[in-house]
Amino acid sequence: MERLVLEGKRCVVTGGSRGIGLAIVKAFLAEGASVEYYARSRADEHDELAAAAAAAGRELLWTACDVSDAVALEAAIEATVGRAAPDVVVNNAGVTRDGLVFRMSLDDWHAVLDTNLTSAFVVARTAARAMIKRRAGSIINVSSVVGITGNGGQTNYSSSKAGLIGFTKSLAREVASRGVRVNAVAPGFVDTAMTEAISDEARVKLLAQIPLGRTGTADEIASVVVFLASSMSSYITGEVIKIDGGMAM
């Protein structure tokens, strides 16, 4: 029988209730992992996925957690690590609160930075400690191409995503000698709830900037995350992989 690339691994995914995070949860389960996801809501398909996972001898857990609440998040990740050290952690939870900088409130700034960047620090700090002890682990941060290119109207969001890239590279340097890898993915324009509100006019303009001529799917992000989670990428750390149809090449 073909060996699954994440057979027996324990994976944690923040923001796994829908969109890209849910696609990552499903891809991890399909590759033989047990998965715990953190989100404020449960995935609509949770019961079916959990039953299928249990039938295959795996586990799917939902932990109700607002990742922008650092105290609650710290307690959640401590509890997760206390049950068993994770092999893989994906910091995927993210929000936008767009607006031109002159009109952006401090609340809009903090909400995005807390959810997208500080949460990754809180999760990775505890998870990396447990991974170092076992001399193994893969941490993957979901950044964005706008963390590389910038985007008008998204100073808060692009700062959080650029911050994730700096965090990825710095942490990768800190933990590499102990067998832990840290990488990031930078998706371009992916059809999820997050991009639903984009007007038809803006969508046409965005599509014109994508050499492959279409938006990406959540599954296309998840497959790269599986690669980074698995031993297929064992010599890759501190890397940022753009998954954007060529948009930011």
How far apart are the C-alpha atoms of 144 and 89, rounded to whole Å? 18
**Alpha-carbon gap, residue 182 to 172, rounded angstroms:** 5
Nearer to ligand NAP, 45 or 178 (CB): 45
Q: In this chain, which stretch among 27-35, 86-94, 201-209, 233-241 interacts with ligand NAP, using CB under 6 A?
A: 86-94
By CB under 6 A, is residue 92 in contact with ligand NAP? yes
Structure tokens at 142: 């979901």
**Alpha carbon distance 114, 125 (integer Å):** 15
DSSP string, 202-235: HHHHHHHT-TT-S-B-HHHHHHHHHHHHSGGGTT
Whichever of 57 and 213 has its CB closer to ligand NAP, that residue is 213
40/83 with CB nearer ligand NAP: 40
Q: How many residues bind ligand NAP (CB under 6 A)?
A: 30
Is the CB of 50 or the CB of 67 nearer to ligand NAP?
Answer: 67
- Check binding of 15 to ligand NAP (CB under 6 A): yes
Minimum CB separation from ligand NAP for residue 39, in Å? 4
End-to-end CA distance of the chain: 39
State which of residues 190, 224, 226, 241 lies at the interface with ligand NAP (CB under 6 A). 190
Neighbours of 3 (CB within 10 A): 7
Token match 């991974």: residue?
131
Max Cα–Cα distance, the chain, nearest Å:
59
Side chain identity at residue 187, one-letter code: P
- For the question of residue 157 being annotated catalytic, the response is yes
**Where does this chain touch ligand NAP (CB under 6 A) — which range of 44-52, 78-86, 125-133, 183-191?**
183-191
Task: Say whether 1 sits in a helix, a strand or coil.
Answer: coil
Q: Does 49 bind ligand NAP (CB under 6 A)?
A: no
Distance CA 70, CA 16 (A): 18
Site string (111-140) toward ligand NAP, x via CB under 6 A: ----xx------------------------
- In the complex, the smallest distance separating the C-beta of residue 32 from ligand NAP, rounded to whole angstroms, is 23
Contacts of 125 (CB under 8 A, 6+ apart): none
Interface residues toward ligand NAP, by CB under 6 A: 15-21, 38-41, 65-68, 92-95, 115-116, 142, 144, 187, 189-190, 192-195
Give the residue numbers annotated as catalytic, written as ranges.
157
